[in-house]
Amino acid sequence: MEILGASLRICVADIETAIPFYERLAGGTAQRFERGGVQVAAIGSFLLMSGPEAELEILRKVTATIAVKDVDEVHQLLTGLGAHILVEPVPTPVGRNLLAMHPDGSIFEYVDQHA
């Protein structure tokens, strides 16, 4: 498995206020989308999230988002290494993702850009 990059997940109370700061910090423009009632802005290595507290409580448990070439390959590798797949690969606005709990209890999101 080749890791292409990782995003830092940040839950914010007001995404509109947070976006200009992170755009200037990262030197880029936010890519925005909504998922499950949560507003998301991807800016460089930062993934800002804002929404209902019940949803954010779950999202805060995910350590990081890791970009990979192929989620199916990662699924197979993680399963073989004893990780617990919490959410099987599903489509997202930009590809597919899965959620996995590593044997140490850490939870990670893995994403690819396959359509």
User: Per residue in 26-50, pLDDT tens?
Assistant: 999 999 988 878 999 999 999 999 9
Judged by DSSP in three states, 58 sits in helix
Judged by DSSP in three states, 21 sits in helix
pLDDT tens digit string along 63-101? Answer: 999 999 999 999 999 999 999 999 999 888 778 999 999
pLDDT tens digit string along 15-24? Answer: 999 999 999 9
Rounded to whole angstroms, how far apart are CA atoms 28 and 111? 21
Rounded to whole angstroms, how far apart are CA atoms 109 and 49? 14
Rounded to whole angstroms, how far apart are CA atoms 105 and 69? 24
| E strand or H helix that includes residue 9 | strand 3-11
71 within 8 A of 15, measured Cβ to Cβ: no
